[in-house]
Amino acid sequence: MATRVYESDTVETVDGIAIYMTPLKIKYLREFMDVFQSLKSAKSQDEYTLFLAECARIAMQQYMPSIKTISDIEDSFDLNTLYRILEIAAGISLKKEEKEENRINEDSGSSWDKMKLAELEAEVFLLGIWKDYEELELSLSMPELTATLNAKRESDYTEKKFLAAIQGIDLDKQSNQRNAWEDMKARVFSKGQTSDANDVLALQGPNAKKAGFGIGMGLDYEKLG
């Protein structure tokens, strides 16, 4: 079972100063992604590296505010460390062949454009923890926003389920609600063949042993004739 909401890591400057990193808070991620999408329009390796350094400069506002300029970035980090900063800050992994050909993971930019962030923030804001959206965006990263939102929705559903049960209504049956954890295990046991815990393909290996039968349990047959 997952015990971490997000990945964290420590990177070092060329002078050996350790910087602990977690995903960017939304306030900084907005600016970061605006610059990151400019990588696609880079016309040379130098321009590409400049955009990359600007992304890192924005990230340093959260991680080490004393690193303020592009020159500071160039003096502090090598190229491999810049790539690691992108990976931790925004979950963006640039593959080796993409680095060499000056291409970026276009899905990261397009998914950011399509995300209805304002609606997600509005839903979480109803928790009443933050005085305004500025404070919310300084408090939460995207993984934290997602985890908080999922917990809120689960809590809301549990409350509705309880109130419905008082009235004799099985809300799970009405909405065909499935257990997300069981479905995730089904994907693992079936090696991606199904995400439905009720599918026979999910009954393989340890899962089949627990059920007492299933695929991959050494079932044999006898050839007749």
161-174 pLDDT per residue, tens: 888 888 878 767 66
d(CA 212, CA 199): 15
pLDDT on residue 193: 59
- Residue 115 confidence (pLDDT) above 80: no
pLDDT on residue 137: 96
pLDDT on residue 91: 87
d(CA 81, CA 13): 8
- Residue 104 confidence (pLDDT) above 90: no
The residue behind tokens 């995903």 is 23
- Residue 217 confidence (pLDDT) above 50: no
pLDDT on residue 218: 43
CA 87 to each of CA 43, 52, 156: distance values in angstroms, whole numbers, following the listed order: 23, 12, 33
DSSP per residue over 38-88, as a string? GGGG--SHHHHHHHHHHHHHHHHHHH-TT--SHHHHHHH--HHHHHHHHHH
- Residue 216 confidence (pLDDT) above 90: no
Closest to 13 in 3D by CA, of 59, 87, 73: 73
Q: What does the pLDDT average to over 67-92?
A: 93
Q: Which residues of 150-189 are buried (b: 16+ CB within 10 A; e: fewer)?
A: eeeeeeeeeeebeeeeeeeeebeeeeeeeeeeebebbbeb
* pLDDT class of 222 with cuts at 50, 70, 90: very low
- Residue 160 confidence (pLDDT) above 70: yes
More confident residue, 176 or 122: 122
d(CA 139, CA 125): 12
- Residue 223 confidence (pLDDT) above 90: no
6-29 pLDDT per residue, tens: 889 999 999 999 999 999 999 999
pLDDT on residue 102: 42
Mean pLDDT computed over every residue of the chain: 78
pLDDT on residue 169: 80
N-term to C-term CA, the chain: 49
Phi, psi of 190 (to 5 degrees): -90, 5
Most confident of 111-115, 191-195, 215-219: 111-115
pLDDT on residue 73: 96
More confident residue, 209 or 2: 2
Most confident of 38-47, 57-66, 174-183: 57-66
